[in-house]
Amino acid sequence: MANISFFIPAYNCAKTIAESIESIIAGNLNNGDELIVVNDCSTDDTAEVLLALKQQHPFINIFTHKRNKGGAAARNTAVENAANDLLFCLDADNVLAPDSVDPLKEYLISMNADVASFQYQHFFSADKLKPDYIWSLPEGVFDLEFYYNGGNTPGQHGNYLFTKQSWVKALGYAEGSGALDTWTFGLRQAMTGAVTVVLKDTYYYHRLDYEGSYWMRDAEADLWSVSVKATYALYPFFDRIDEKYLNYMLGKGRYNWFYNRTGKPLKLVSKGSKDIFYKDLHQKVVKFIYPKANFLKRGTDKIKRILNYGGR
């Protein structure tokens, strides 16, 4: 499990992806590691830039979607084609610090964890060495409650190390979730028991691009859709969500529950605890669809059966 499959989902990133790729190759790529790039049907010069980079670095594996499928699908394509059991996702406009991933890998292995994240995200717009601001996560074993109560989480930035098994348990990235693809993936990992750790005093560089940002054009443009997409991403895990909270997600809070988690945290139940509820619900649905005939109808049907039998 020592080798890593680095992967980059790429869409209209001709201006930035070369720096992202070089940050992996220079100081973070070891023998046995691999680098996968998935071009999600870019309409700019991304394909040409990737071709030039592959000529310089023939080991780069490039996959191309014939139509734009979104970030989650691009990430899933990469993982599905990855040879190694450890995976690191780097967005096509972000940059790794030199020699930053090996300590992350060692920490994940030593802690027997499923996910390992940098502690800091250095957000920059012009010079990556002069961050506009910095986000931080608490070091050590990460409290997964942050996913449920609106706190800062590794899933919000999505650039972290994880095991393929945790991807399998989470059913991959939720396709159709738009710019929530990494946050909902982190949440799905949390809901399926992934142990997450944060390595002290580590960081990567997160580029700020308000005009070209996936989040800005997908989520901020339609804020009402964020909760809807998050609900869609959690559909396979409805059996793990408290029934009252689920009714809230699908009803009164359907357009804002995601933003209300600080005051009304996502509430889960233990696996299998809703089995009786669903069994009773099944019986109610059966009775509704196939109602039992009344006394008169049963009597009439019996007489018809007798008459039909006697006339044979």
pLDDT tens, residue by residue, 196-209: 999 999 999 999 98
Average pLDDT over residues 208-234: 84
With CA atoms as reference, report the closest residue to 226 among 162, 156, 171: 156
Amino acid, single-letter form, for residue 168: V
Whether residues 188 and 284 share a domain: the answer is no
Identify the pLDDT of residue 220. Answer: 76
Q: In angstroms, rounded to a whole number, what is the distance separating the alpha carbons of residues 308 and 302?
A: 10
Percent above pLDDT 70 for the chain? 97
DSSP assignment, residue 230? H
Whether residues 297 and 151 share a domain: the answer is no
Average pLDDT over residues 56-68: 97
Higher per-residue pLDDT: 266 or 271: 266
Region of 12 on the Ramachandran plot (φ > 0 left; ψ -120 to 50 alpha; else beta)? left
How many CA atoms lie less than 13 Å away from 250 in the CB half-sphere? 12
Whether residues 197 and 289 share a domain: the answer is no
Query: Could you tell me if residue 127 is inside a domain?
Result: yes
CB 30 within 8 A of CB 3: yes
Residue range of the domain that includes 299: 275-310
Distance of CA 13 to the CA centre of its chain: 21
pTM of the model: 0.88
Whether residues 206 and 289 share a domain: the answer is no
Reported as a pLDDT band with limits 50, 70 and 90, residue 308 is confident
Query: Could you tell me if residue 281 is inside a domain?
Result: yes
What is the residue-wise DSSP string for 271-311? TTTTHHHHHHHHHHHHHHHSPPP-HHHHHHHHHHHHHHHHT
Query: Could you tell me if residue 247 is inside a domain?
Result: no
The Cα-based distances of 22 to 16, 50, 105, 204, 281 in angstroms read: 10, 12, 19, 14, 55
Q: In angstroms, rounded to a whole number, what is the distance separating the alpha carbons of residues 226 and 150?
A: 14
With CA atoms as reference, report the closest residue to 84 among 184, 167, 173: 167
Looking at the 3D structure of the chain, how many domains does it have?
2
Identify the pLDDT of residue 311. Answer: 52
Calculate the average pLDDT of the chain. Answer: 92
Assign 24 to helix, strand or coil.
helix
Domain boundary among the residues 169, 194, 214 is at 214
CB 204 within 8 A of CB 94: yes
Whether residues 302 and 198 share a domain: the answer is no
Whether residues 210 and 279 share a domain: the answer is no
Assign 149 to helix, strand or coil.
helix
Alpha-carbon dihedral sign for residues 68, 72, 73, 79: positive
Q: In angstroms, rounded to a whole number, what is the distance separating the alpha carbons of residues 284 and 37?
A: 49
Query: Could you tell me if residue 306 is inside a domain?
Result: yes
Strand partners, 162: 87, 115
Domain boundary among the residues 163, 188, 214 is at 214
Residue for token digits 């191309």? 64
Whether residues 208 and 306 share a domain: the answer is no
Higher per-residue pLDDT: 138 or 304: 138
Whether residues 289 and 196 share a domain: the answer is no
Average pLDDT over residues 88-112: 97
Average pLDDT over residues 35-57: 97
Average pLDDT over residues 207-217: 77
Q: In angstroms, rounded to a whole number, what is the distance separating the alpha carbons of residues 166 and 172?
A: 8
Q: Which two tokens stand for residue 270?
A: 């233990």
Whether residues 104 and 206 share a domain: the answer is yes
CB 153 within 8 A of CB 117: no
Query: Could you tell me if residue 248 is inside a domain?
Result: no
Query: Could you tell me if residue 269 is inside a domain?
Result: no
Whether residues 46 and 164 share a domain: the answer is yes
Whether residues 45 and 138 share a domain: the answer is yes
Query: Could you tell me if residue 234 is inside a domain?
Result: no
Q: In angstroms, rounded to a whole number, what is the distance separating the alpha carbons of residues 228 and 121?
A: 27
